[in-house]
Chain A
């Protein structure tokens, strides 16, 4: 995505929430996590799903990164998480406060 708005920075202290009308759900028939919204659906790959599962309106971006790094016993996820959340924001899947 060349659009410069996708580069829009997300700060570590912001708290993302799943946008009104969107719902994250596991679909066993498709064996995948999906994000449902009015008359549509996005299939999520596993890492996108892991990030969105932590988007609960309480955890900050930084806490989400820490949470994932702990769960998956790794480091350096900050850029990936920021990049994904900025796409998610761009697509109106999440709101940031």
Chain B
């Protein structure tokens, strides 16, 4: 049953790049993500964080191991089924080039709804506006993506990631490109959606302060999970 299954389960997930000279980037990841979790993914550059996120996000295919999304084995799905599952279950926030430059903020947020086809136009506009208002951009709806500041763009991207109300949002360094204060605001936004909608988040970050504000920190080193701690446990460790 899908309800009984965790949001994401990986078993010995591996990823190898290259045909002649091969690099094994992920060397067996076992990870379980539960609904509503706010999880930070940290680790040195090149440790495989983005690669893992792309696999979980069904943007890329693993070399070995198993990946289950809501109990569905990703290997059994064809491209269309993966796209549909991705559209309904997953939201993305990327570090760079998050938005479609030719479209307005509102249209960017509408894209995931629109791509599903068959939803009434008025309803899609309403949804997009509601989310833009929730990220504090009610005044910027008609702006072209390129006319927005970096922080505003990132907030539009968050609204877009959430417009389908997916159970899981994958964010790759969502604050990496922003100044500390704007970064903090964006993180607060993610936290509030996590609290209010129960959306689970995986946030890749290099920022210690950002990781600290999450419920769980998965630390990767060289393609492996080095440590996986919950904040409650960390508090205990610190106390010792």
Co-complex (A, B) = no
Q: A residues near B, CB below 8 A?
A: none
